[in-house]
């Protein structure tokens, strides 16, 4: 915490010095959304390059003066929380002054900018994110406050903890981890008791694009157990993008790649090539939108696809057909086909990429 306080004090000192010299104070932050600032490393995923381009948030410029003020406001809130050893969610910060901040996304972006500017993980800034992910299966652990959580005996899923770094005593006999894109598929597998029928496993869903805590938990489970991690996604560009976030990280959070990415993640399904192999009826597939075409074209150009020839082939199948499929399409074969046939066969015969 002294490191965090010192980093904030240095920023404020810079502001005060500028004022003393009758200069307009400026905050310098990295261009987090610029692909030119990102390098791809097989062992880490997408990470920010050391000498990346920056942008200035000036206090004397009408376009950025408000953002400058909001950054100082949030820095002061973080400073107080670290000093008093208290925590707040990003939502708490937004609701402390909704009129001032205007929207939740403004708060989210500023907190990420501050984390990147100070080179300190968000968790160390005492800012928690509201969790939306679920975990179930062969796993138990102790939360920071001493609460014992057992995901094995629960008929319903457990919410991913809001302080993943604080959990300890993780125990599991799981043979693999299954990341499921959607909540509906996750719940279906839970109802079918999938995590104990095939072989003990841990199931996780980020319910779409995963939040920070879900990504941190996947990484923590990988560090703790070193067991295979498979993904079950829709066979569409959006599903592929979500899988890439777990595996290689996102551009906007590339400054924290080392804590968040798991490059060993494997693509289990739903593969575009599965659709032909299983004779899925064309009527059950969904035609691409223009947005889908653009998203797929952008994914195909990304640096990590070049080192994944088998993924590349699957994306080419998808691009050629201009059709996408949700995981639920497997119910057109039979109601419990996913948990009874599809996943067990894939896991037994190595049907992943």
Quick one: angle between helices 309-321 and 290-300, nearest 10? 160
Closest CA to 135 of 198, 196, 190, 209: 190
Count of residues for the chain? 353
Q: Is 95 a catalytic residue?
A: yes
CA distance 282 to 43: 39
Confirm if 104 and 187 have CB atoms less than 8 A apart: no
Residues 6+ apart with CB under 8 A from 299: 237, 240, 241, 244, 305, 315
Residues 6+ apart with CB under 8 A from 124: 1, 3, 4
Confirm if 237 and 300 have CB atoms less than 8 A apart: no
Confirm if 338 and 188 have CB atoms less than 8 A apart: yes
Q: Which of 94, 95, 304, 342 is catalytic?
A: 95
Taking the CB of residue 119, how many other CB atoms lie within 10 A of it?
A: 11
Number of H helices, E strands in the chain: 15, 17
Residue 136: strand, helix, or coil = strand
Bridge partner residues of 137 (DSSP): 202
Enumerate the active-site residues. 95
């Amino acid at each position: 915490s002294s490191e965090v306080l010192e980093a904030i004090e240095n920023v404020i000192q810079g502001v005060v010095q500028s004022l003393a010299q009758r200069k307009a104070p400026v905050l310098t932050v990295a261009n987090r959304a610029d692909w030119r600032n990102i390098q791809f490393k097989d062992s880490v995923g997408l990470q920010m390059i050391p000498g990346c381009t920056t942008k200035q948030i000036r206090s004397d410029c009408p376009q950025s003066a408000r953002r400058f003020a909001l950054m100082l406001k949030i820095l002061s809130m973080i400073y107080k929380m670290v000093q008093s050893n208290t925590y707040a969610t990003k939502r708490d910060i937004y609701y402390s002054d909704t009129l001032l901040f205007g929207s939740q996304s403004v708060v989210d972006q500023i907190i990420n900018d501050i984390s990147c500017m100070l080179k300190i993980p968000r968790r160390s800034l005492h800012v928690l994110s509201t969790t939306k992910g679920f975990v179930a299966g062969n796993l138990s652990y102790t939360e920071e406050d001493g609460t014992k959580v057992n995901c094995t005996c629960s008929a319903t899923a457990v919410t991913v903890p809001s302080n993943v770094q604080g959990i300890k005593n993780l125990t599991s006999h799981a043979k693999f981890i299954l990341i499921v894109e959607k909540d509906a598929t996750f719940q279906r597998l839970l109802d079918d008791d999938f995590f104990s029928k095939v072989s003990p496993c841990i199931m996780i869903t980020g319910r779409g694009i995963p939040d920070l805590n879900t990504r941190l938990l996947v990484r923590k489970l990988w560090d703790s157990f070193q067991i295979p991690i498979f993904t079950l996604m829709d066979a569409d560009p959006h599903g592929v993008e979500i899988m890439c976030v777990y595996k290689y990280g996102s551009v906007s959070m590339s400054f924290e790649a080392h804590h968040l990415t798991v490059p060993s993640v494997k693509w289990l399904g739903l593969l575009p090539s599965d659709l032909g192999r299983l004779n899925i009826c064309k009527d059950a597939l969904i035609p691409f939108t223009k947005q889908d075409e653009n998203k797929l074209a952008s994914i195909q150009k990304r640096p990590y696809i070049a080192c994944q020839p088998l993924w590349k082939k699957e994306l080419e199948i998808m691009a050629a057909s201009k059709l996408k499929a949700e995981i639920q399409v497997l119910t057109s074969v039979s109601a419990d086909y996913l948990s009874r046939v599809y996943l067990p066969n894939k896991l037994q015969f190595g049907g992943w990429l």
